[in-house]
Amino acid sequence: MTAPVLEVRNLTVDFRSRHHSVTALRDVSFSLGAGRTLALVGESGSGKSVSSLSIMGLLPRNGEITGGAIVYRRKNGGELALNGLSQRAYRNIRGAEMSMIFQEPMSSLNPLFTVGDQIGEMLMLHSDLDAAARRGRVLEMLELVEIPAAASRLDSYPHELSGGMRQRVMIALALVCNPALLIADEPTTALDVTIQAQILDLMRRLQHELGMSILFITHDMGVVAEMADDVAVMYAGTIVESATAGDLFANPSHPYTRGLLNSIPRPGRDPGQRLVPIPGTVPSLSAMPPGCAFAPRCGWAGEECRKPVVLEAFHTGHDVACFKTREVAGNA
């Protein structure tokens, strides 16, 4: 097997204030294979976006990686420990080798510059192309992401484009330097269903054509089913289950994963069967329960669930952090 493009090993991230600190991520581990899509799934507040910002070196000033390692394998085959990089070193690889698409393109694109200038700036930083060649490459990218009348959009400002077109511009901006790793943080959440489907189809096609690996962050299990090769389920700052997408949907083995799947419509579900919401709320990071963080919301929880629990192999390629795994899987 080829080495993964990205490995996150026991990552721990703290956020500090003047009077106290909270742990947003605890011992998070996952890997992303070459040319594959890994979906990082969970409710709001589970730690998905903090994981992506840690990888990209974009944590706010009060955020700090306090444990673990993030290893990126470069296009030339060399390994790079990302959590040891200076901001100067990060700027050399951000955009060139690893890129990110954010959730809301209107707040990510600069309203004062044309989309052509913003995409071209990435080439100015990471290539030796002259102005004419940069403009030609930007046009090529706008055509690649299927923006209609691309040549006429080079000099458009973000507010002159629809939401779907702005998201396509963000994809062009992220991919203009052919990165090996793309992080997509809920890139379709703000779009209507039809445009969402078009953007997902576009991302799959570009991944196939460019051979990149994608870390796809979402709370939408329908998107996971459509996009992911592998899935890591997060809850309260830690990974509670990881498997291939097919195995996870066929054999959900953590109560939280079961809860996520039971709360959404799925193909094959009995039309008369009611959706079941997960009771309760995600615990506050400053008041975590002892042992399993999901125990207060879990129908399977027992006394042993007050003890620390770690991610362990349920079977080959399927890891679960739960004392009740076999009982949960047996009731699938």
- What pLDDT shows up at residue 139? 95
- Tokens 């990089």 identify what position? 85
- Cβ-proximal residues to 229 (8 Å cutoff; 6+ apart), any chain: 33, 36, 37, 38, 244, 245
Task: Flag whether pLDDT at 306 surpasses 70.
Answer: yes
8 Å CB contact between 85 and 91:
no
8 Å CB contact between 21 and 15:
yes
Residues shown for the chain: 332
Q: Which residue ranges make up each domain of the chain?
A: 1-97+213-267+294-332
3-class DSSP assignment, residue 323: coil
Task: Flag whether pLDDT at 127 surpasses 60.
Answer: yes
By CB atoms closer than 10 A (0-12, 13-18, 19+), residue 267 is: exposed
Q: Hey, which residues does 232 pair with through a beta bridge?
A: 40, 242
Angle at which helix 163-175 crosses helix 131-144, to 10 degrees, equals 130
Range list of β-strands (E), the chain: 6-16, 21-32, 37-41, 63-73, 79-81, 98-101, 181-185, 213-218, 230-235, 238-244, 312-315, 318-320
The whole-angstrom separation of Cα 54 and Cα 296 is 29
Task: Flag whether pLDDT at 54 surpasses 60.
Answer: yes
Confidence of residue 297 (pLDDT cuts 50, 70, 90): very high
3-class DSSP assignment, residue 242: strand
Instruction: Return the percentage of the chain with pLDDT > 70, whole number.
Output: 95
Task: Flag whether pLDDT at 75 surpasses 80.
Answer: no
8 Å CB contact between 242 and 209:
no
Q: How far is CA 251 from CA 20, 247, 266, in A?
A: 40, 6, 14
- What pLDDT shows up at residue 281? 86
Q: Which residue has the higher pLDDT, 84 or 11?
A: 11
Task: Flag whether pLDDT at 332 surpasses 90.
Answer: no
The whole-angstrom separation of Cα 280 and Cα 297 is 6
8 Å CB contact between 320 and 253:
yes
The whole-angstrom separation of Cα 59 and Cα 90 is 12
* Domain 1-97+213-267+294-332 class in CATH: alpha beta
- What is the CB neighbour count within 10 angstroms for residue 151? 11
* pLDDT (mean) for 31-44: 93
The tens digit of pLDDT for each residue in 162-202 reads 888 998 899 999 999 989 999 999 888 767 888 888 888 88
Among the listed residues 222, 175, 176, the one whose alpha carbon sits nearest the alpha carbon of residue 197: 222
